[in-house]
Structure 1
Amino acid sequence: MPARGSCGRSSASPSPEAIVVGGAVAGASLANALGSRGIPTLLIERLDRERHGARGDLLHPPTLRILDSWGVLDALRADGAVALRELVVSARDRGIVARYPTPVRDQTPAGRTIAVPHERIEAVLSACAERRPSVTVERAVVTGLLREGGRVVGVRVREGGNARELRARVVIGCDGTRSSVRRELGIAEEEHEYATDFLYLEAEGEVAPPAAVHWHLDREGIVCVFARPRGESRAFLTVRRGMRTSFGPDPALRDHVVGRFPDLARLRIAKARARLYRVVRLLAERFWVPGCALAGDAAHTTNPAGATGMSLAITGAARLAELLVPALDRDDAAVDEALAAYEAERRPAAVRALEAAHAQAMRIYESDLFRDADAFARAVDPAAAWTAGGAGWGEDPAALAAPTPTT
């Protein structure tokens, strides 16, 4: 078996003790967390799931320390992760308004926020999980849950024309905002849609300054540009729901984007990689039933203003694994006690993170704050952006205090 903290190499795995449904950030993180402790784990991922970039790219120091303990951070750095150096705010008629250094915790590899394309984060996490001796990855569709005596004991899957039943001590649904596991469990969710959508773009080339998050304010709203590996950039533009978001031929899209932020003229924008992202927040009514839990977006989805969506998913997966490992050496009652403890700890943490992110979204996306560049710059200062929540930029959301209500 590989040393702890190593991705290891693939080999045959015994019958699973844990089945993880969904192989995006939360599911692949949970497979790494369990696999790094030698727990036989089956990760079930859909064959047809598209990996795309219309999600967060930033990983902060508290989360990087967890990834480092799994041996994943080195793999992300080898894949081209960019260490972010500063945050810049500019306005159409004023140029640069403010520059902030990104917070640095320490001089270790996990001490500074990094940018990695979301699809590469998923791919690296999945590859590391798949190389662990105790983890098996299957490409199939989960069609239902197996129940016995009031508890979940496995899943039904379909692969091509073949249907099977797979059993395990615990099943964890990490299958996203529209979770089929959550739906099958009958767990209700609270969902809020925002009036602002994001148009995500991927492009070749960089916008000065390098290794930065660059907020640009124009007459229509906000343009945000992130540095990416290999000389690429990603941008999102705020658009009011119902506004025109289909621009026809590539020149029309380019004209709209460059009209919003002229510096983007130096980039080669790939229309085929443009995505409209509908901003929502979601919270499941509960995170577990006997034998089964929800994690990641299946349990909680936060809007991008908090920059904590992946942190919630990864820290939650790490904590769930920490609680489950000793319980899996005992009986089913111990497993359920671990799941109850997970909900008791992580659901309040998710509530705090979602409330803080909502307050920030209402402040910077759902208002006219972009018309006041100085006030906007103060609102996105990474040293103060979470002041209302009681923690700094990129903190473990579990550390967040209840935010001050925003009117």
Structure 2
Amino acid sequence: MSCSSSSGSEEEDEDFDSYRKGGYHAVRVGDQFAGGRYIAQRKLGWGQFSTVWLAYDTQTKTYVALKIQKSAPQFAQAALHEIEVLLAIADRDPSNSKCVVQLIDNFKHTGPNGQHPCMVLEFLGDSLLRLIKYNRYKGLPMNKVREICKCILIGLDYLHRELGIIHTDLKPENILLFNTIDPAKDPVRSELAPILERPEGGLNGGGVTSLIEKKMKRRARRAVAKISERRISMGVIGEPPKSDRNIGGIDVRCKIVDFGSACWADKQFAEEIQTRQYRAPEVILQAGYSFSVDMWSFACTAFELATGDMMFTPQSGQGFSEDEDHLALMMELLGKMPRKGAVTGARSKDFFDRHGDLKRIRRLKFWPVDKLLIERYKFSETDAREFAEFLVPILDFSPEKRPTAQQCLQHPWLQHKNSSQDKQINEPSLEKVDVGMSNLKIKVGK
């Protein structure tokens, strides 16, 4: 769950059975926290461990995101860990310039279901996943992709180099824009007055909350309708529907959020990390990991921003697992995994024979990134080549060969000095391989 997102979780509602001892804390609009400092405004979303509310900070007169953890001991423990990571992040970034979410406060709140750890985070806008959806999975303009990549890399460089922290779950959902895409959902830009006390008859709990939410949604819809009317009166009506998704005007500055599964590089506690589609090969093979797993996820995210599609969407099939399909997809795009990498993990024998070939998916059809961008996504040859030169070295099967976030920030593609004389000598070069063009692979059973 994006910890301070306005977009909320992708599913509609959390499991209401979880509002019991050890579970979620029931919040009503106008509820007060931390001795009256924070007042709940509306629910932003929820995650497996917590609900997140928009709250008004009466001390600083600003809106914040209030994350209220379930109260059972294991959730409290997870919250303590996340708070520890967030405190380290905030401590070293007093100017709040490192593209990582800032923790403002933390406290415990006692309710009927137990004691709930609470985190107060800066209020941020929609996730990059929302932005991708808003753009109808079309792929963002390259200047926007560049801008977003810079922010993510500044955040990763700070986490990795200055703090020694691995995020372990980087993906579009866990990167939030500074602002909401729809101004009506932004508590400041929509100019709604903060709710400072519980609305009349507020003792009947959820009913009131949902009424308020309905009222706010109606208000937002009216605002949108007004904008549409204005557009029609300005003669936009005859344009194709594409025109109502103006990405150009959206501020794409963003921050990395959700440190629930982050770890210090020298204090790792989980073997299986990362969301499936963004998972690095060394994690699948259980060959140990370091900061470079975040770089792999970053490259997958950059590809998704530029194309609208996930880079890898593995599926299990007849006689092979999702993991093996994932490795096959990687090799079709990036070439064969070096034998050393293929055989050194604790799970290597599950997938590879002693020659470093997959056991159950035999005939791979190679389709390198630059050709894929041109043929499937209609990139110009120059754009495809330059983007692939940036992306492919980050997707090296050998984790130690992947460039760091700091090195990526120096890459000509980000500076957009894309002529050959601007190329740095020590830049990892993209190997040109002459390979077949079909992305169909023949999978055979054992």
TM-score, length-normalised on structure 1? Answer: 0.25
Between 1 and 2, higher relative CO (CA 8 Å, sep ≥ 6) is seen in 1
The structure with the greater share of residues assigned to strand is: 1
The structure with the greater share of residues assigned to helix is: 2
TM-score, length-normalised on structure 2? Answer: 0.23
Structure whose CA Rg is larger:
2
